[in-house]
Amino acid sequence: MTPADRFARLPDLLAADTDLRRRGHWLNADCRIDIGAEPFHLTLREGGLADFARGPRLLRSVAFSLHGTDDAWRHHWQKVPAPGWHDLFAMTKRGAMSINGDLRPLLQNLQYFKDLLALPRRLPEAS
């Protein structure tokens, strides 16, 4: 399973996590998460995914975007990631991820986004 295929399971993973949705109750944001070369557009409303689109979308406005290499996401989604791969900012520091745009919604809801983007760790490891 490619990292993008793993991330495509995010709607089901979030739907099953009532605690994370509850913690994001006040969050409304549009963002883009790039898994390698594949973009995903997330529309978050009250902590849930109102829209989840895989692939490029022309002229789609987002508050912020995160771009990580396939390798960065593979490391990040290990059951217990190694130091430097465990955190979004650690991956940015090592040059495997970049963050662009209005960081306010990201930083105001940082733990929510960290937990949201760690959800694919719950999937079985790819063989």
Q: pLDDT tens for residues 29-88? A: 999 999 999 999 999 999 999 999 999 988 889 999 999 999 999 999 999 999 999 999
3 in Cβ contact with 77 (< 8 Å):
yes
Mean pLDDT across 4-13: 97
Contact of 68 with 96, CB cutoff 8 Å: yes
| Residue 127: pLDDT over 50 | no
The predicted pLDDT at position 85 comes to 97
**Spatial distance between the Cα atoms of 96 and 15, rounded to a whole number of angstroms:** 28
Token pair recorded at residue 126: 């790819």
Q: Indicate the pTM of the whole model.
A: 0.94
pLDDT score recorded for residue 63: 97
User: What value does the mean pLDDT of the chain take?
Assistant: 95
- Identify the weakest region by mean pLDDT among 56-60, 88-92, 105-109, 112-116: 56-60
Asked whether the beta carbons of 84 and 68 are under 8 A apart, the reply is no
Q: What per-residue confidence (pLDDT) applies to 54?
A: 97
Cα Rg, the chain, nearest whole Å: 13
pLDDT at 1 over 50: yes
pLDDT reading at 99 higher than 60? yes
CATH number of 3-118: 3.30.1050.10
